[in-house]
Every structure is written in structure tokens, then in C-alpha cells.
Structure 1
Amino acid sequence: MDAIQRNNVQQLVHANQHAPVLLYAHGFGCNQDVWQLLTPAFSSSHRQILFDYVGSGSSDARAFDPDRYGSLQGYAQDLIEVCDALGLSNNVTFVGHSVSCSIGILASLQRPELFSEMILVGPSPCFLNDTPDYRGGFEREDLEALLELMDQNYIGWAHYFAPLVAGSDSDQPLTSQLSGSFCSTDPVMARLFAQATFFSDIREDLSRCTIPCLILQHHRDALVPLLVGEYLKAHLKNSLLEIMDVTGHCAHMSNPHLVAAIVHKYLSRNDTFVLP
């Protein structure tokens, strides 16, 4: 099946088809609509491409394969195939949220020529605590209970999880948008993506990533502790860490102007924001 149709690929019109590319990848339980407040900030400077992973948004559900999408490698393959279908390489800036940060890193290990840099919004290489050296934020039994709630009461899980992701002081529209996105996803497909998301561990892959990365960490994030950002900064060779004064896990939705300003600054590589 053609990846353009399968992954509901959308391209925002730009006068110059040779303009640098921003490729956006949404997080678990979401779809490409989560970027709609951020994309206007780059409409004059970049060709922008959005897509949905199989099982999310308006992707073609007929392409869903439990074996393929039982691990993050299947979603990384989606990402690579979208790039290949569009003939993308070299001038692509990958913008990923949450688990898509891990997916982008995995894709870059297979095809390092695809991306010139990566913007990682709320990344976590592993959500599990692995004491004493790593604190991902969750004990295994906590995540197993979350999946059990999905199995028993999917709508109840969505209404519980949405405010957790949005942040306790976020406005109601953001929580409602996230809850609606979770509820509109097929429960079987969402359950498999959730398991792949929350039980994945790419820590050993980080040192092999050679792509320059900007890590955007939320200061108060119920899903990703601050120590995770520091861990990523220490293990991704060409990375910068920017801690945003933001509550929640979705700054691109709650604070799009802040994210746009930081990304513009990073992409311009001016004197105050230079890779080491």
C-alpha cells in the first residue's frame, strides 16, 4: 500500500518546493492535528509535512498489522517509508513529540541521511524507573495498571489520561482535544501502541545517534521527569537541552508560540544557541 495514502500524508503548500522541510510526527493517542497551532509560524520559511501513524488519525486502518506495530520499529518503518515516498533526504528537520522522539531516533539509526536535525518535544527513551541509575517516572506495576484500565474501560482511561498529559493547570479545551483524540482511536490499535510506547527502552541506542538534536523538556511534566532531559543531553552526542517553563506534556499545543520561537532560534544557529 502506498505510504502517502496509508499514513494520510499532508503537505502544506510552499511556493518553493526546494525549501527546507519540517516533518512532524505526533505522539501516542494523537494525530497530525496536534501541530495545527505550530505550523503557521513556519509557513513562509519551510515546506511542512504531516502524517498519521497507522492506527492513528485518518490513516488507513486496513494496513494495521499487530506484529509490525507491536514495537516502535514498526512505527519507525512508517516514518522511513513516508520519507521515501516523498523523496525526502538531507534537508529534513524531524519534529517529534513524546514517543515519536524515540521513533525518530530509531529511524535515524537505519537511515542517518534522512534528517539534518531533530527537534524532540517531551522525549523519553524509557518511561520505566530503572534504579539506581535511571528514573523514567513510572514503576512497571503503574504502567500495567494503566493498560489494564484501557482494557476494562477505554473511555474512562481516556478521560483519566488526557488531563494527566495536558497538565493540571492547562485550559479545558486542550484536555478536551486530547480526550477526543484518545477516544477516536480504535481501542485495540491504541492498546498496542500504548504497550509499545510505555514499555520501550532505547537507552542503549542513544549513543549511536549522530543527528544534531534539540531536546525540549517541559518543566512540570507528569509523564517525563526533569532528570530524563539531563539523561538525554548526556547520551545524545550532538544535543542541546532547553527546559521550557511549561506544565504538561504538550507544549506544541499549550504554548506553540514559545516552541516556535525556540525552534526558529535553533534552526538559525545564532551565537546564543550553538551546538557544542
Structure 2
Amino acid sequence: MNNEIILRNNIKIFGKGTQPIVFAHGFGCDQNMWRFIEPAFEDDYQIILFDHVGSGNSDQSAYDYEKYSSLKGYADDLIAICEGLNLQRVIYVGHSVSSMIGVLSAAKRPDLFENLVLIGPSPCYINDDGYFGGFSREDIDELIETLESNYLGWSSFITPVIIGNSEKPEYSEELRNSFCNMNPEIAKHFARVTFLGDNREDLSKVSTPALIIQCHPDVIAPVQVGKYVHKQMPESRYELLDTSGHCPHLTAPEQVIHSIKTYLNN
């Protein structure tokens, strides 16, 4: 077991089972976002929680702007976590940007992963010829400009949009606090990498079976995006939950649990 990696990524390991489930949080979040999901799997699996470098209680000094200038840096970390903990037959559950981190990892090291669960995945946020990502280039440029000039203000504006459940303001508040707890310079850098990235060509390189979980409406990753991911990944299954927003693991955890368990038990 690699203690350096455990400290770097603030790794927590528990559960009564042997097969590992690795939960990976989205941008501006941390492993606490899985608190409604992971208890349902503790009896049957080994649970692995971690924070991406620069997020949560990870080792902030390990943040390397060059390494993390693309999602490949985070994918290399995930592979290192699996190797350092001697994990095999990994079930990987990734939210939002961590969906693509899982895709890159499984494409590079398919031997490590048995299943992928991708919640609200988007390989590219920017509309392109024949592709709908949900945002124009101008939208994304404006979003990043606002984020860089007023990160705290941007966080207050964007988090209710991401949560997408006005009747559950407590989760918008939680997400806003999580965003605001990040080092602003790291958050800005991670946001640029996330929103300007294009991983469409990586989807077809994945042979690992995958479940794609989507909500509607989801402003961040619309239904067209989820269906595109499903079409590009030959071994995938697509499920549209009966809920809205981009964070169903917070706002509709029972649906997410049911979806994952049904998938894994079939």
C-alpha cells in the first residue's frame, strides 16, 4: 500500500466486501459528496473514496499546473491509486468531469476496470459541427472570464444551476461552499481544463462495460450529450433518471443507488 498516494489523494478505504468500488467526485467537490451513496454498497464491496489533487483534503502542494493541464494528469493519478492499493476488477463511479477521467483511465489500462458508472458525463461542452455539447464557444469563454475575474461570485451564480433543484437549496449552498473552499487559482485552472476539454475521440477506445446515468433537464450535460456518449461507447448502457439537475447523487440518491445496483447485479 502506497502511503504517499494515500496522503496525496486523502484516500479512505472501508467496507466488508473484496471487490473495490472507487468513487470519484466532480469539479469543485470532494469525496463527501458520496455520503448518501456509498453506505448502500459497504456490505458487499470495498469502498475507496479519494479527493482529486487540489480538491478537498488532498495534498495541495502536489498540484502541478503542467501535469493537470489536461485530464490525463488526473487519469494517471487514478491509475496510480489502483496500482498503489493493488486494486483489481475495479468498479469505477465517476461524476461529471470524473466520468471522462474514468474513460481515459480505462482506455489506457482496461485490465484494471471491470465496470464504469458515468454520472452526467460530457466529453465536450462546446457545440461543434454535428455535435451538441450544450454551450457555444462564446458561452464557455464568458463563463471562464467571469470565473477568473470573480470566482466567489461565479460560484454563487453557477451552483444553483448545477444542482437544478430549486426546492433543495441546501445542496446549492453545500456545493457553493465546496467551490469556495478550493484554492481559487487551482479551481480556475481545473475549470479551464474541464470546460475547454474535448475527449470525444477517447470514448470509442473504451472496451470496459459502462453505465451512463443521466438526468433531465441537466443544463451542464443535456440528454443529447449522454446519448452521444452511449452511442460512442459500444459496451455501454444508458439510463435516464426521473429527476433533474447535475448532481443526482445528492438530490436523488435512492435513484442512483437503484440504478447502479440493478446494473451490477444483471
TM-score, normalised via structure 1 length? 0.93
One-letter code of the match for 2:51?
D
Give the letter aligned to residue 92 of structure 1: V
Equivalent in 173, 184, 187 of residue 187 of structure 1: 184
Structure 1: runs of 5 or more not aligned: 270-276
- Cα distance in 1, alignment partners of residues 55 and 21 from structure 2: 20
Report the Cα distance in structure 2 between the residues aligned to 1:5 and 1:170, rounded to whole angstroms.
Answer: 37
How many residue pairs were aligned? 264
The AA in structure 1 aligned to 2:86 is G
Across the aligned residues of Structure 1 and Structure 2, the Cα RMSD in angstroms comes to 1.1
- The equivalent residue for 1:96 is 94
1:124 paired to 2:122:
yes
The correspondence for 2:104, drawn from 98, 103, 106, is: 106
CA distance in 2, matches of 1:103, 1:225: 19
Find runs of 4+ consecutive structure 1 residues off by over 2 angstroms: none
Say whether 1:78 aligns with 2:77.
Answer: yes
Q: Which of 253, 257, 265 is equivalent to 1:256?
A: 253
- Write out aligned runs for 1:260-271 (5 A): 260-269=257-266
Matched with 2:58 is 59
Q: What secondary structure sits across from 1:48 in the alignment?
A: strand
Q: CA deviation at 1:168?
A: 4.3
Q: Is the 8 A contact 2:165 2:251 kept in 1?
A: no
1:8 aligned partner: 10
Correspondence for 1:208 among 202, 205, 208? 205
What stretches of structure 2 of length at least 5 have no aligned partner?
none
Question: When the two structures are superposed, what TM-score results if normalisation uses the length of structure 2?
Answer: 0.97
- For residue 230 of structure 2, the aligned residue among 229, 233, 241 is 233
Partner deviation per Cα, 1:221-264 (whole Å, 9 max, x = no partner): 01111111111111101000000111110011111111001111
Cα deviation code 1:168-202 (max 9, x no counterpart): 43401100110000000001101111011111111
**Partner Cα distance (2:153, 2:210) in 1:** 36
Q: 1:226, 1:194 → 2: CA distance? A: 22
Which amino acid is the alignment partner of residue 203 of structure 1?
R
TM-superposed deviation, 1:140: 1.2
Rounded Cα–Cα distance in structure 1 between residues aligned with 2:11 and 2:63? 16
CA distance in 2, matches of 1:159, 1:265: 36
The 2-side partners of 1:239 and 1:184 are apart by 35
Q: Distance in 2 between matches of 1:94 and 1:27?
A: 13
CA separation in 2, counterparts of 1:263 and 1:12?
19
Matched residue SS, 1:245: coil
CA contact (8 A) 2:15 2:45 kept: no
Q: Give the match for residue 158 of structure 1.
A: 155
Deviations 1:43-91 (A, max 9, x none): 11111001001100000011011000111011111111111110112x2
CA distance in 1, matches of 2:104, 2:167: 31
CA contact (8 A) 1:169 1:247 kept: no
- Determine the C-alpha separation between the residues in 2 that align with 1:230 and 1:248: 16
CA distance in 2, matches of 1:26, 1:170: 23
Cα separation, 1, equivalents of 2:230 and 2:145: 33
Equivalent pair of 2:124/2:199 in contact (CA under 8 Å):
yes
Could you say what secondary structure the match of 2:204 adopts?
helix
